[in-house]
Amino acid sequence: MEHDQAVGRLRESYRRIPTGEPVRLAKRSSNLFRPRTDVATPGLDVSGLTGVLEVDAAARTADVQGMCTYEDLVAATLPYGLVPMVVPQLKTITLGGAVTGLGIESSSYRAGLPHESVLELDILTGAGDVVTARPTGEHADLFRTFPNSYGSLGYATRLRIELDKISPYVALRHVRLGLDQLAPAIEQIVATGTYDDAPVHFVDGVAFSPTEAYLTLGRNSDAVVKTSDYTGQQIYYRSIRQRPMDFLTAYDYLWRWDTDWFWCSAAFGAQNRYVRRLWPRRFRRSDVFHKIIGFENRHQVAARINRRRGQPDRERVVQDVEIPADQLAGFLRWFDAEVGMRPVWLCPLRLRSGESWPLYPLAPDVTYVNVGFWGTVPIAPGASDGDMNRRIEAAVADFGGHKSLYSDAYYDRDTFDRLYNVPALTEVKRRYDPDARLTGLYEKAVARR
């Protein structure tokens, strides 16, 4: 009943938005890095769509509202020894956001992307209707096209997802490998689920430099052991180089990257041992850091200080790209030589469903590695803001990869339409948003920069 009332308020808020005005969510947090233009029109009322409706431990499923965060969902499922098949690294990513905007984690080498474990979902469409989309049936076209549509087809109000077992602890092994050794090791893990005859349930990695890269292999463990704590003074990513073996509770493993936003908290001084002692633990989390970035984007405080010091302006380079495993070493060498940002995150991925999805057409029989890099680079004399991102986009294409759209994109219209299969999106959009009330994918991802 409460859920139905919340959906009713959402639909009413949609009806109140004048035709021709932008449609957006009225939500307090975001994990997008694209700048959002402030508009006077109120956003969609999603205030009642933030909870977990049901956890069916026997069936290993959960019914979840669209604005429920993974932090809240994990809190509801973990007491049953269950978690979503893929838990993106940052606590405030929502279920609806991960499906319409993609997500990835260390289980993705075997579980694919978050939308591949969705059994059904209710979607508020551009026509103002709420429809239930499933892999088959009347709205199968919407179900298939919704992933990576970023709200251009509608917004999820409820999702039914599969859950996976997890043990109370995760045993970690940090294996140092050369760049040319990464792909063979990853392919072996994908094929066998093992490494050195030991089971592997989770795998991601970090390349600190072209001569220092690690795969972190996680294994479910029921053993009662002493665990590490990286929510206090210790910092997780540094431990990868320091500890060949480690143990975390399941909860701490899932959120190991959130406390320091991978390694990006260093930009705010949060990794300085003196500052860290004074920085309240409850504020060492990704959404707080994201708000600080938002403040800087609006007011340009640090940028103005750097200019007064005679330092060059800096270009934001915040991207996640999927590179075929057999091209990984080449891409990493190119990236280090031409961009020079260190470290970078590595996360193997293989589609679970065995078939491609229209708007993010990865090949179903190819192992990819997500390469994540987040920071800024100086703008060289004579160059313009955006030039480095354009070079990266071209290199990703040259290496046979694909780029996520949560951050800045610079593609021309024809290239974008080809890479993200906009003709397929347009066909489905005609059915579910006949009056084009929802902003198009290109306009969201590129044109609003």
DSSP letter string, 103-164: ---TTHHHH--GGGGEEEEEEEETTS-EEEE-SSSTTHHHHHH-TT-TTSSEEEEEEEEEEE
* Closest to 416 measured CA to CA, from 152, 25, 104: 152
Q: DSSP per residue over 278-317, as a string?
A: HS-GGG-SHHHHHHHHHHHHHH-HHHHHHHHTTPPPEEEE
Q: Is-contact 162 61, C-beta < 8 A?
A: yes
Q: Is-contact 323 371, C-beta < 8 A?
A: yes
Q: Mind listing the domains of the chain with CATH numbers?
A: 2-166 (3.30.465.10)
Chain centre to alpha carbon of residue 440 = 21
* 429/188 Cα distance (integer angstroms): 40
pLDDT at residue 213, rounded to an integer? 98
How does pLDDT run across 310-366, given as a tens digit for each residue?
788 999 999 999 999 999 999 999 999 999 999 999 999 999 988 899 999 999 999
Is pLDDT at 36 greater than 70 in this prediction?
Answer: no
Is pLDDT at 102 greater than 60 in this prediction?
Answer: yes
> 296 to each of 40, 105, 304, 313, 378, how far by Cα in Å?
22, 28, 10, 14, 17
How does pLDDT run across 287-302, given as a tens digit for each residue?
999 999 888 787 786 7
DSSP, res 447: I
Q: Is-contact 398 331, C-beta < 8 A?
A: no
* 191/200 Cα distance (integer angstroms): 11
* Closest to 98 measured CA to CA, from 73, 76, 80: 73
Q: Band of the pLDDT at 32, cuts 50, 70, 90?
A: confident
List the beta bridge partners of residue 285. Answer: none
How much of the chain, in percent, has pLDDT values that exceed 70? Answer: 96
Name all contacts of 391-399 with Cβ < 8 Å and 24+ positions apart: 391/338, 391/339, 392/317, 392/319, 392/321, 392/335, 392/339, 395/331, 395/334, 395/335, 395/338, 396/321, 396/323, 396/331, 399/323, 399/324, 399/327, 399/330, 399/331, 399/334
pLDDT at residue 301, rounded to an integer? 67
